Structure 1
């Protein structure tokens, strides 16, 4: 009873296979009309906004919970109305219905039922199908049917979230007319909750024209008939535990169990990471949050949905083609820097610019979502070469501006290529992959320019035109490109902001690349005199065979 206390909280454990829980307040004494509130909640105590029952308005005062959670605690809260004096005595009873067939059961069907048969499956309670509609269907079961034999399944793990459940003596299953065929699938905690549960039902043989297989328990429903013989169901992130699959023959007119009907169906159940591997507009990815691993589709080109099948916001073909052309053709801006580098005898730098232009063009042609895609090699190779070429273009340009000794410059080029390759292998999308080498190269250039200024006692570069028309515009263009890349570029504006990035980077290279170095005025080594590098003295008479070599004279000729 409730005296000075205003509420009473207790909990009840619900065992497996419970189909219904009934909580009732009885023998309420001490006040007129039983001024109590009754609240029930699973897994946690009820809150102030939980469903409540006023016992003054209901006689008997009871709450019924259909399809409760199995193996969980249910909390029952009885609270006295505020302002009611005295002590109120009462009795709380909790009744759990066993798992035998009820007289009727409601079905949560993800699509219309129709005059068909199918399979119902469910946990306790059954999960709600995404974008599904609930249609109550009442099916009467004979009173003689009490317990259904359950056939187990064999589990075969192939990979992460890739599990096949094999039915003994299957996959073809005969559905008898007198009772349903029930199968159980056990989904393991953590291991099976992050994928998609797939079920496929196909009608092979019906030996009676009026009836087809159908499910008769609450849960998801798959329906098949003579005209639609194949049905599929996909449940993302299924609740772990025991799932029961029930096959039963129902008449197409009354939705009641038929007699003298034997149907043969093909049943297939398995777990997969994503729905249809996310199709052509998505990519299936494995994600980890804390200790939980799950799979999800990363959709592109405006597509949405569990399997990237929702095209309500999808990009049109013209938009996809336009974005691809902008990203690819914007790399043509590297042609002027290549021409400038070749004219100034910067052949190594020109080779780097050509490399960047080539791989950036074909990487973006392969990186596009949707159907406007063209790949000349593997995507990962194209991406690595594009990122490496972009960073190397910045690196070799700044090092060339420092005007170092040829040996030092070649060492820095090779060292930069190796370090940038290592950095890209660690994190290709890191902002410091661009800022780090750029700042380091600018530091080298600043030191070289400062040393040259001190040695010459004159500002370097020496002409104001070089600063006004080349260095300052090139630096501003490069800074604008870095700001766009770091703070403006997003997934929504990627195709045109990144195209502007291509134009700005290539344009800054054309301004910043230094002119051809003038030849040194210092005299080189004196040219060698023409003449014999060596002399071979041969006796002329000996060569002609006129004298004996032993007595040959000294008279000889010298040839060079």
Structure 2
């Protein structure tokens, strides 16, 4: 409840901040988005991140992000919350500089980092020219030093939360351009104008031309050369990286020309026109904007194409004033074939003429043309997995040296220079000199349409620099698959599925000290000897129960002996199943072993306390059954909770202490005896207290195998000291006490203290 109240106050404060920010900066005219306060956790692996998202509409010039961290209770220590923000997909982060697996594609668009303290202070971040669509934020806290392990409730439980508020600065005056037709633009008193346009599907390049620049007066039209104009072309957003800049004033010609390759498909491109203010006495002028685009040829159905010496591919020219056919062919899009019912297990395949998936993607790649296909990554279904790419050269009797490029780009068709360099994409390359497969992996791929382009080149094997026409068309086999994790996390991890808010993702849970996305970073890994030692210590330290079990049987504490044996058995096999993923032996379900271990541990404490208490035999039997039921309910409710631990121990301690105090008051003598206190009870209590202190205050993730094994030894050995010498025969107990007292009053030669002590023990 306290945490909810603090979050409510946090949201109210953020609303006031937003109002003040919007009032101070009137440019922010877009909608305001509040995220629900999300708990953040210390980061050990990607499963610990908390995911949030905001939506950026088109025509957004700036994105204002307001972060605020909070803690509950407020007396908790100050923590620094790290937030990574990424467009289109979950951020791929590396807080502790772990090494990534080989062939990982790590270039992400627009990845930003912000540090947010948990002191309720607003941190402001601005992203200029953000790409429209969904932006994801991943928040977490860094860990420093050893991580302390303690029973829940024995230390202050602190919760930390992150709230994100997004405000968009949207540009209202944006004019649409249709690139199919040339358009005349007028610039008058306004010195600049902003346009936007989208290129049609399958366009691989286009030419942008500004000509017919003239100034208009009342009775006269004068040609301007050069045209007093500055142009900025941004692709995908208002201020994209790698924007094109063109100064038409520097060109002493009538035509201002710009060639754009591999433009974004289905995205807005923005053209900003600014008048050159150095030209004086210029009130109004106009110019023509003209686009000439080039498209890939797209047959109705194309999956596999075979070429030979006598076969030539005839492309149908797209005759138009604005569209021309480029030297490329775009095949049918790859279909998504799901192998299993679980998420992130799919393959993208060509389909046959009967629309069935082809078992393999095999393609002939001519050197005259670029071969292109595409596939779509869905926002919720695919972004939480890992995209795996593979390219293999097929030997079809080539007598020339051959190389084949495969370039993968999002929302762009790789073409010419963009294909060979693949600057903003993933490049794979194979050749005829080896039959190896080139692979690449994209963790958490961004949603959208991905285009794959292939290009081949043939050369003389003896003179690699001499490029030749291919005598035979090279062939390749390529694969595009979506998997839950990188190679199933290898030998030192397991792939698991997690949910953060409404988002589902998979990640590797590494063990034995291995780290990284694929559990491939072994810089801090434990050796096999350490892993084996950890398992042996945690399992065989439970054998210290044997003296207590033997003593309980010898002294006729049969019920207690059964509880000790139960605890030893399940604690041994629980740690054999839990301590190491390499040396692991589970005789039953892990949760069953864990429940039985905790049940046996607290039941052993309960039995020892009742054995020490001086109560009637029938009452002890009833308390035995009551303790079993009570502890079973508590352990099932929350076996790691503080009250679930304290209540059974306190009840048992009160029963034991109450019976002792009753004896002391009634018979007015120390109970148990001083000798018993000094030789047995105090050492037993010291062992127990030492074990509890080590367990609650010293135990960390790094020293767990030593401290927890020490806990096993101290607690089990304390039974030897705390267990009474023999089981009390409470039946007829009152009559024996009465006989001793009567004998003392009759002045018989009875050693009262000796007989009474013998009776009590």
Contact kept, 8 Å, 2:387 with 2:442, in 1: the verdict is yes
Q: Does the CA contact (< 8 Å) of 1:287 and 1:295 recur in 2?
A: yes
1:337 aligns to 2:526 (yes or no): no
In the other structure, the counterpart of 1:437 is 645
Structure 2 match to 1:501: 711
Q: Which residue of 2 aligns with 1:168?
A: 351
Q: Take 2:681 and 2:445, find their aligned partners in 1: how far apart are those partners?
A: 61
Counterpart position of 2:24: none
Partner Cα distance (1:6, 1:471) in 2: 93
Alpha carbons 1:200, 1:231 under 8 Å: kept: yes
- The answer to whether the aligner puts 1:322 opposite 2:524 as a matched pair is no
* Aligned equivalents of 1:144, 1:53: Cα separation in 2: 22
Which is higher, the Rg of structure 1 or of structure 2? 1
Matched residue, 1:418: 632
Matches of residues 519-534 of structure 1 in structure 2 within 5 Å?
519-520=729-730, 521-522=733-734
Change (3 A) 1:42 1:459: farther
CA–CA separation in structure 1 for the residues paired with 2:608 and 2:260: 73
Question: C-alpha distance in 2, partners of 1:450/1:39?
Answer: 86
2:513 aligned with 1:302: yes
Give how far 1:374 is off: 4.3
Q: 1:96 to 1:145 in 2, by over 3 A?
A: closer
Query: Which residue matches 1:556?
Result: none
- 2:529 matched to 1:346? no
1:185 to 2:375 alignment: yes
- Could you tell me how far 1:238 is from its partner in structure 2? 1.1
Give me the TM-score of the superposition, normalised by structure 1: 0.67
Q: Relative to 1, partners in 2 of residues 1:467 and 1:57: Cα closer, same or farther, differing over 3 Å?
A: farther
Deviation at 1:193, TM superposition (A): 0.3
What's the TM-score, normalizing by structure 2?
A: 0.51
Residue from 662, 673, 677 that aligns with 1:463: 673
Q: Tell me the residue number matched to 1:155.
A: 337
Matched, 1:230 2:437: yes
CA 446–175 in structure 1, closer or farther in 2 if over 3 Å, else same: same
Please state whether the residue corresponding to 2:330 is helix, strand or coil. coil
Provide the residue aligned with 2:387 in structure 1: 197
Query: Is this contact kept in 2: 1:3–1:86, CA < 8 A?
Result: no
Q: 1:281 aligns to what?
A: 492
What whole-Å deviation, never above 9, does each CA across 1:237-271 have from its counterpart, x for those lacking one?
11122223334433263596852324444443321
CA-CA distance at 1:175 after TM superposition: 0.7
Distance 2:244 2:270 in 1: 14
Match of 1:209 among 399, 424, 430: 399
Contact 2:610 2:620 in 1 (8 A): no
In structure 2, the gaps of 5 or more residues are: 1-185, 216-227, 298-324, 353-357, 407-413, 420-425, 737-761
1-structure distance, mates of 2:288, 2:702 = 58
Q: Distance in 2 between matches of 1:415 and 1:205?
A: 72
Distance in 2 between residues matched to 1:444 and 1:8, nearest whole Å: 82
SS at 1:150 equivalent: coil
Post-superposition shift, 1:419?
A: 1.5
CA contact (8 A) 2:204 2:326 kept: no
**1:269-301: CA deviations, max 9, x gaps?**
321111221122111111111111000001111
Please state whether the residue corresponding to 1:260 is helix, strand or coil.
coil
CA drift of 1:438 comes to: 3.6
C-alpha distance in structure 2 between counterparts of 1:506 and 1:94, whole Å: 87
Aligned residue number for residue 605 of structure 2? 394
Summarize the Cα distance change of 1:453–1:51 in structure 2 as closer, same or farther, 3 Å threshold: same
Mark the CA change 1:335 to 1:229 in structure 2 (over 3 Å): closer, same or farther. same
Q: Are the aligned partners of 1:224 and 1:231 in contact in 2 as well (CA < 8 Å)?
A: no
**Given the alignment, which residue of 568, 572, 596 partners 1:357?**
568
* Shift of residue 160, structure 1, vs aligned partner: 1.6
- Cα 1:378/1:453, change in 2 over 3 Å: closer
Length, aligned pairs only = 473
RMSD: 4.8
Deviations 1:387-438 (A, max 9, x none): 4333333343334444552331232243145325523xxx5xx531x65234
SS at match of 2:688: helix
Separation of aligned partners in 1, 2:248 and 2:698:
62
Residue by residue over 1:12-60, the C-alpha shift from the partner in whole angstroms, topping out at 9 and shown as x without a partner, is 6676556579999999x9xxxx9999695855x659xx88999999957
CA distance in 2, matches of 1:88, 1:497: 84
Is the 1:206–1:264 contact (alpha carbons within 8 Å) kept by the matching residues of 2? yes
Q: Does the C-alpha gap of structure 1 residues 450 and 272 become closer, same or farther in structure 2, counting only changes over 3 Å?
A: same
Does the CA-based 8 Å contact 1:282-1:298 persist in structure 2?
A: yes
* 2:448 maps to which of 241, 263, 282: 241
Distance 1:431 1:144 in 2: 67
Residues 140-171 of structure 1, C-alpha deviation per residue, up to 9 Å, x if partnerless? xxx96144333432432522211233322433
Equivalent-residue separation in structure 2 for 1:288 and 1:327 (angstroms): 32
Give the corresponding residue for 2:578.
367
Deviation larger for 468-477 or 440-449: 468-477
Check whether the contact 1:175–1:247 (CA below 8 A) recurs between aligned residues.
Answer: no
Match of 1:220 among 427, 432, 435: 427
Tell me: CA distance 1:201–1:448, structure 2 relative to 1, closer, same or farther (3 Å).
same
**SS of match in other structure, 2:346:** strand
Q: Identify the residue that residue 145 of structure 1 maps to in structure 2.
A: 327
Assess if the C-alpha contact under 8 Å between 2:395 and 2:432 holds in 1: no
Structure of greater relative contact order (alpha carbons < 8 Å, 6+ residues apart): 2
* Contact in 2 for aligned 1:171/1:266 (Cα 8 Å): no
List per-residue Cα deviations over 1:166-189 (Å, max 9, x = no partner): 322433424153545433222211
Q: 1: distance between equivalents of 2:670 and 2:209?
A: 93
Shift of the 212–387 alpha-carbon distance from structure 1 to 2, 3 Å rule, reads farther
Query: Take 1:6 and 1:501, find their aligned partners in 2: how far apart are those partners?
Result: 78
d(CA) in 2 for partners of 1:195 and 1:338?
Answer: 52
- Please list every run of 5 or more consecutive structure 1 residues that lacks an aligned counterpart in the other structure: 102-142, 525-560
Contact 1:154 1:168 in 2 (8 A): no
